[in-house]
Copies of this chain bind each other. A is one copy, B any other.
Amino acid sequence: MSDSAPLITFLSDYGCGDEFVGVCHAVIARRAPRARIIDLGHGVARHDVRAGALALRAALPYTPPGVHLAVVDPGVGGPRRAVALRLRGEGRTMVGPDNGLLTLAAQALGGVLDAVDIGSSPESLRPRSATFDGRDLFAPVAAALADGASLGALGEAIDPASLVALALPQPSIGDGALHAHALSSDAFGNVSLDATAELAARAGLGFGGVVEIQAAGVCQRGRLARTFGDVAPGELLIFEDSRGALAVAINGGSAMLALGLAPDDEVVLRRP
């Protein structure tokens, strides 16, 4: 592979039980035989647009520039738009449904420069299934971009300001406490919050200290720790996770199950 092989990254909620991911790879290989595909994961919870958007925002800063294909698409076949975006700088484009999946990552990478509606793209496969735009629309458009097609040739220009954005909760400091929210959980039951170590410091919470954690009506104690090894097995901790966010965890257990946390639940952290 030469250094200049075009790159496509691919994230979806297709799972690995079916041939869906492989068929998208195959469609890309037909249209852009030289493209290299990096799977960023296909285990996003089914139809969970926000979890997909958060995973994409976490992953894309680590990838080389290229075409970023993402499909978590509960509205497939309905009126939601399908889009391709060019980001500011660095040679990055994105392809997927216009349901908020792409916008968190796009903002983190500098924002959207140009956008097109690809719903009637000439690259679409024919016939086109009503339920599998990943194969029939998004993969061919991503492959065309990797093959050098211009954004304008793929659809009609739309206003980047009209793209659907996700409504995320906002953390705040009040009553001497940090009021954060559960954003998502990983396979181990660690729950990411919408707060950073910097924000915790402003609420008087520093690494190594004991923290009172109030969530779902229950109040428990844990520790603001660097790693799991800093607390005893079974103990609650707040740590900075690999995405750079504070996360609630239990050493050797599932904080999501133990605290009964669901997305958007408030989690209040304070010094005891």
Contacts and interface: CB of A to CB of B under 8 A. Distances in A.
Taking chain A's interface residues, is the majority helix, strand, or loop, or is none over half, making it mixed? loop
A175 interface: no
Nearest to A65: B30
Interface in A204-258: 226-229, 239-242, 244
B22 A59 contact: yes
Given A130-B240, A135-B62, A229-B75, A23 B36 contact: no
Interface stretch (A4-12, A83-91, A153-161, A260-268): A4-12
A132 B244 CA distance: 11
A15 B63 contact: no
Given A26-B40, A29-B63, A64-B33, A19 B58 contact: yes
Contacts of A198: none
Interface of A: 1-3, 5, 7, 9, 11, 15-23, 25-27, 29-30, 33-34, 36, 38-43, 46, 55-56, 58-59, 62-64, 74-78, 129-132, 135, 186-188, 226-229, 239-242, 244
